[in-house]
Amino acid sequence: MSEYGRVVRPDPCVMELVSKLAREPWTDRPSCVHPTLSAAARAVHDHSSRAGRRALLPLAPKFIDTARPGLEVSARVVALCVSTALAGGDMTGDEAARLGKAHETALHLLTGRGEPRWWLSLLGRFGWSEPFYRTFVATEQVAEAIAVTARQANGDRDLRLRQLLKQCLAVQFATPPAQRVMGP
């Protein structure tokens, strides 16, 4: 960690490569990438070996122009990453509880069923639930789920994490464009 709380990476992150390909300033949070997908890419990078990190770089062009408003992509990526972590079974009780709630929230956002979290309703009144969820909540949930998944993986960690990241990218295109933008 640097003195400012940012992770210092020995190898370029796939998001940093995306920033250059998209002609943006060098950053691991390019504005052309959906924040939840960007969080997934950073977490996969951070939990991969050096060879695993290099294997992520060919995915860079697929991230460009994925930044779209709406809750659906975030909720789908959270549901995917959390389901993967929960299926592994090796986690603390606190992790299982947090990831279980994350999964419930994501499913509520996708289906409208279940109890919404109190903050969704409150922030929704001001039109803030979508940016808050996709920028803060979903990114933290995805990062934790990927950390748990990485810990669960044995010798195939790099492959497993790269496959999960590819599935996260596929989520972006899981629905027709007209249905991708969802309001609170």
Which DSSP letter does residue 133 get? I
Report the distance separating Cα 121 and Cα 13, nearest Å.
35
Stretch among 24-33, 54-63, 106-115 having the lowest mean pLDDT: 106-115
Structure tokens at 25: 């300033």
Q: Are 62 and 169 in contact (CB under 8 A)?
A: yes
> Residue 7: which residues within 8 A CB-CB, separation 6 or more?
1, 42, 46
Rounded alpha-carbon distances, angstroms, from residue 154 to 44, 81, 151: 15, 17, 8
Q: Give residue 108's Cα distance to chain centre.
A: 17
**pTM of this prediction?**
0.85
Position 173 scores a pLDDT of 74
Q: Cα–Cα–Cα angle for 87, 182, 80, nearest 5°?
A: 10
pLDDT of 183 strictly over 70: no
pLDDT of 181 strictly over 60: no
Q: Cα–Cα–Cα angle for 158, 35, 73, nearest 5°?
A: 90
pLDDT band at 177 (very low <50, low <70, confident <90, very high): very low
Average of per-residue pLDDT across 155-163:
93
Average of per-residue pLDDT across 125-135:
82
Give the number of residues written for the chain. Answer: 184
Angle, helices 72-88 vs 138-152, to 10°: value is: 30
Q: What is the mean pLDDT of the chain?
A: 86
